[in-house]
Amino acid sequence: MKRTILAIALSAILTSCGQAPTTALDEGVIDRLSPRQQLIRLSIDLRGIHPSEDDLKAIDADPDSYAQFVDQYLYDPLFLGQMEDLYNIVVRTRTGDAWYDPEMAGLTQPYFEVAESVGSEPLKLIAHVIDQDLPFSEILLADYTIANEVVADMWGLEYPDGLEGWQKLTYDDGRPMAGVLSTTSLWTRYPSAGLNANRHRANNLSRMFLCDDYLTRPVTFTEAQIAELSDGGDANEVIATTPACQSCHSTLDPIAAHFFGFWWEADPEDMAAMTSYNPGDEGLYAGQTSGQPGWYGQPTGTLRDLATALANDERFYDCTVQTVVEGLTQRTTTDFDWNLMQAHKDAFVGSNLNFRELVRSVVSSDSYLATQFEDPASHERIPVVKTVSPRQMSAIIKDKTNFVLAYDGLDALKYNDMGLVVLDGGIDGQFITNRTYEPTVSSMFVQERLAQAAGFRVATNDLNPLREGDAILLKSVDVNSNPTDDLPAFQAQIRSLHQDLTGVPLAADAPQVAELVALWKQIFSVTSSATTSWAGVIAAVLRDPAILFY
């Protein structure tokens, strides 16, 4: 009761501060982000960059226009790239590895470009399904893949003349078409080591699309089982006759049995032999695993049958919801989230598995926009502060300053070639598969260097008297301006700089204005350079928590 009174009181205080919710809140949520912050969060999640100032002014004028921006951003050209990144955390195919020598396929592009294309094939198919508003089960049922010229050359697909970029293509080597499950890129990422008889692939299918990782289950061997195995016993026989083994293998092995057409030949001289599907090998499961092809007790036959069973499995819907919720909210869901998850699932299933409707449901929920929960324990499960990914950080800085930290033309926070993605808390898809949402020493250094270089880039451009075109950020000062002669102009510049970079205006009495003027003076006192001083001020604002967190 006391907590409820406190909540009401706190809500009243926030209302008086202009942060009042304009509509009723879900149970347990005391307050939401301010309208500007709501739009910033939405834009970073759906577009990877901040909203434009025009958009921010529009939501200032009409705080209830959030839903309209959801509509707009769901169809923004940048939306699909964000969803590819979201699903890459699950599919993990963008590893920087092309798996085979591109020269064997006659490709001369830089290796990293080939690796990026190969790693993108399943993600582009997922993005296509989202883009076309198809039922999300199409990612498993599509009778085509999405490939560009590089992927086509690598895997021997026919790429039509006159087209360019990512297109609908088909494999013509006799493989059953089953959406991403038919893509060579996926199964080169998850090979079978032979002895594991495609169980590695089966488990990854389960992990990716059922959110059920067999490898998280503890294994216990009895002395009798070990004795039999160490006496040269047949492992498949032990698996088939031991209840503890069957708790996993009774379902895992029948899934694995679908992938023997992808049991590639190890011929280093023949790219096609190593990457083509072999229909004649489909029956090799006999003797290799303890199961016929099947799906949790239901007999199947081909890879297509497997995909159909998976696409109709309620757990696939649940897993899709879980993937989206966890990806957009940067947290692990628990049983406490059951009601919330059910509501999102209803939106997803009720829209014929429309992915955009699922995203809309998540980003429209109060818990997504919450800053305060009635129950303090909710703060232990739900972070009201989110952290931008390395790709988002790079895109935001580029959008604000035109600067990209690049090496040989590659954005160092988008591609992990230089290792900066991982150092900044991102994943490499292979060895580092979970994002780090807490800032680290290494991410501090990445952001410091990025901000420093961007600051110099802007200051050098904007203070150049011979500059062509508009200033990027420093529009109220020039290279001869100083705070002693014209403090108001300096303060106005700092205010606009802060708002342009963070999206949030400083309050009239905000101490940051005086502090940034003081910082400019400090730097100028040791460098005597207006350019260096402004570069330092811009770097300081670019490293503000308001940019890293959203």
Partner 1 sequence: MSYTNHISRRSLFRSLAGCAALGSLGSLAAVGQQARAAASERKFLFFFADGGWDPTPLDPKFAADGIGAIGGTDMDPGTFLGQAGNLTYTAGDDRLNMDLFFQNWGQRTALIRGVNVHSVAHDTATQWMMTGSTSMTAPDWPTILASSGESYPMPHLVFSGPNFPGRLGAAVVRGGGGSLLELIDGSMLSYADTNSPMHALSVDSMIDAHVHRQGARFQQELMGLAKVRADAFIESLARASELEGRQFEAGLGATQSGTLDEALMALEVMRLGLTRCAMIRIPGSWDTHGGNGGVGGQLDEFFGVLDQVMDHMNRTPGFSQSWLADEVTIVCCSELGRTPRFNGSGGRDHWTYASMMMMGSGIRGDSVIGATTDDFIARDCDFETGLPSASGGMIGTENVGAALLELGGAEANRYLPGVAPLTAILEGS
Binds partner 1 by CB under 8 A, chosen from 82, 198, 443, 493? 443
Site for partner 1 in 212-271 (CB under 8 A): 215-221, 223, 226-227, 229-232
Q: Is 497 in the site for partner 1 (CB under 8 A)?
A: no
Q: Give which of 146, 153, 147, 164 is closest to 103, Cα–Cα.
A: 153
| Residue 440: CB minimum distance to partner 1, A | 5
Site for partner 1 in 324-343 (CB under 8 A): 331-332
The angle at the Cα of 235, spanning 265 to 286, to the nearest 5 degrees, equals: 50
Binds partner 1 by CB under 8 A, chosen from 285, 456, 490, 550? 456
Q: Which is nearer to partner 1, 311 or 420 (CB)?
A: 420
- List CB contacts of 89: < 8 A, sequence separation 6 or more: 327, 427, 433, 434, 435
Q: Which is nearer to partner 1, 20 or 406 (CB)?
A: 406
- Of the ranges 19-27, 28-36, 340-348, 436-444, which one interacts with partner 1 (CB under 8 A)? 436-444
Rounded Cα gap, residues 325 and 264, in angstroms: 36
Rounded Cα gap, residues 511 and 495, in angstroms: 11
| Residue 332: CB minimum distance to partner 1, A | 6
| Residue 451: CB minimum distance to partner 1, A | 8
- List CB contacts of 196: < 8 A, sequence separation 6 or more: none
Rounded Cα gap, residues 527 and 534, in angstroms: 11
CB 330 within 8 A of CB 437: yes
Binds partner 1 by CB under 8 A, chosen from 380, 464, 480, 487? 380
385: β partners? none
CB 352 within 8 A of CB 136: no
Q: Is 458 in the site for partner 1 (CB under 8 A)?
A: no
Letters for 60-89 (x = contact with partner 1 by CB under 8 A, - = none) are ------------------------------
| Residue 429: CB minimum distance to partner 1, A | 14
Half-sphere exposure of 335 (CA within 13 A, CB side): 0
Number of residues that bind partner 1 (CB under 8 A): 80
Binds partner 1 by CB under 8 A, chosen from 440, 480, 487, 514? 440
Amino acid identity of 367?
A: S
Q: Give which of 175, 379, 199 is closest to 278, Cα–Cα.
A: 175
Binds partner 1 by CB under 8 A, chosen from 157, 180, 453, 513? 453
| Residue 151: CB minimum distance to partner 1, A | 26
**Radius of gyration over every alpha carbon of the chain, rounded to an integer in angstroms:** 27
Binds partner 1 by CB under 8 A, chosen from 39, 105, 412, 463? 412
Binds partner 1 by CB under 8 A, chosen from 327, 425, 483, 503? 425
- Of the ranges 289-297, 300-308, 342-350, 534-542, which one interacts with partner 1 (CB under 8 A)? 534-542
| Residue 221: CB minimum distance to partner 1, A | 6
| Residue 301: CB minimum distance to partner 1, A | 28
What is the full DSSP assignment across 513-550?
HHHHHHHHHHHHHHH--HHHHHHHHHHHHHTSHHHHB-
Q: Is 15 in the site for partner 1 (CB under 8 A)?
A: no
| Residue 403: CB minimum distance to partner 1, A | 7
111, burial (CB in 10 Å: exposed 0-12, middle 13-18, buried 19+)? middle
